[in-house]
Structure 1
């Protein structure tokens, strides 16, 4: 498979269209590029597919989907030579936005076949899930607190129907409930936080710039933390993010670091928009971790 591009996709995704896949296949045929398709059939199947593909050394492994699908495909490409290609087709497509990859599938596949490779940094998080300590990589962010609680409780059927609007509805429900404060250990200091976002990207939830200095090519994470246990302050933060004024809030801190620890137990965690488990957790930066195909 050394001259073959492998494309992994989820055929049951509400945003999947066979017509789009046919267009991509036709484009590759027109440009004499070998393309092999790998549909996923169950949760975490993408990781299994990547593991089986690695010894075959395809030219690139392409993830077609949203940020969650891209995250899953990337898990087993960390510190591998084989690059990751992206065809964004999710709800927010934040990584594509960060890397200037267009949402149009044909324009995206055009970028893939250029094989212009950039090596990016990622995050690694250890956390608890069903009384087991697990670890995963994230490409965009780790959210601890209310935003993870929202991801945990989002109704998939409502999400299919409303898209981003489903997050708005769940946000209103979550803010109505008092959230738990937790300890956040950064650069040998401890902060009390209700919500923390450990960012590898300046964007969050779409085109909202929460951490302006964060980037997958920067040396450090940028962390946005809300140092308050007030539900009003949390709502205020969300409103201020919408108009890009959150940095001026007195309870907001923007910090840069390579390492974050949370000792408080049972705080919800999400990475790249998907709920994964709860604290306690350790978050570290992994440098030069992933080869990814980007525009020139």
Structure 2
């Protein structure tokens, strides 16, 4: 059974087909939006998520080392080796990849307003955002620590990579029962050149402008009422953002 995900009500239709057919695997053929839509329907079930990456970013596939070519991704599905990964619950929203506050969330919001898609659009949006962005106030509370300050950006994730392979969370693991809150402190604009280099060299955790907090549960107070994105989609959250790890809650077909 094939369901086109671009139409309204696609999630309900997929859910109904899952109930009727009781499959061992549901394959998402598309970009991260399609993967997230299907994956969220399979949380805490025995049904595996298969991925054929057809998007421009394919961030989830890259984080799970799923081949990006169609023949190789089909080969991966045929071998059907599965892995249980953790997901995040953020104010009752399911998060498979990451949640952004601040600069990157604003960047995505700006890029989505454009008629065009792709890295060129994000590059233009990046340049525009650099000259208008302001640092924002936040507070993080976990079971072991409390931190309050200003930030350039905050990313909540248990994965490592953005879709462009920049490593926002180099030590993240998808199955260790914890997530990371990656905080980027205010910095001079010239420091961004080095930080971009560190992101793509997977060494951003060594930057003096970065803070990484590992936790199973945390509360983040968005005191600046910054834009928030979960898995690339804008969401309206309260100033109090409650985050919990949901261990081994999604089965995914991955390479051995």
Specify the TM-score bucket, using the shorter chain as the normaliser.
0.7 to 0.9
* Equivalent pair of 1:191/1:227 in contact (CA under 8 Å): no
Q: CA deviation at 1:85?
A: 0.5
| Alignment partner of 1:274 out of 223, 227, 233 | 233
User: Residue in 2 aligned with 1:10?
Assistant: none
User: Residue in 2 aligned with 1:219?
Assistant: 177
What residue ranges of structure 2 are gaps of 5+ in the alignment?
Answer: none
1:205 equivalent to 2:170? Answer: no
Change (3 A) 1:41 1:68: closer
- Aligned counterparts of 1:138 and 1:289: Cα–Cα separation in 2: 11
1:67 equivalent to 2:32? Answer: yes
- Aligned counterparts of 1:119 and 1:156: Cα–Cα separation in 2: 37
- Aligned counterparts of 1:149 and 1:124: Cα–Cα separation in 2: 22
User: Residue in 2 aligned with 1:283?
Assistant: 243
| Alignment partner of 1:194 out of 121, 135, 152 | 152
1:169 equivalent to 2:128? Answer: no
* Equivalent pair of 1:142/1:199 in contact (CA under 8 Å): yes
Larger radius of gyration: 1
- Aligned counterparts of 2:10 and 2:67: Cα–Cα separation in 1: 23
- Aligned counterparts of 1:157 and 1:282: Cα–Cα separation in 2: 34
Quick one: higher RCO (CA 8 Å, sep 6+), 1 or 2? Answer: 2
SS at match of 1:204: coil
* Paired residues, number: 248
Change (3 A) 1:62 1:267: same
Change (3 A) 1:70 1:234: farther
User: Residue in 1 aligned with 2:82?
Assistant: 117
- After TM superposition, the score normalised by the length of structure 1 is 0.76
1:59-103, Cα deviation, whole Å (9 max, x unpaired): 311111111221111112111111111000111212111212111
| Alignment partner of 2:115 out of 157, 177, 193 | 157
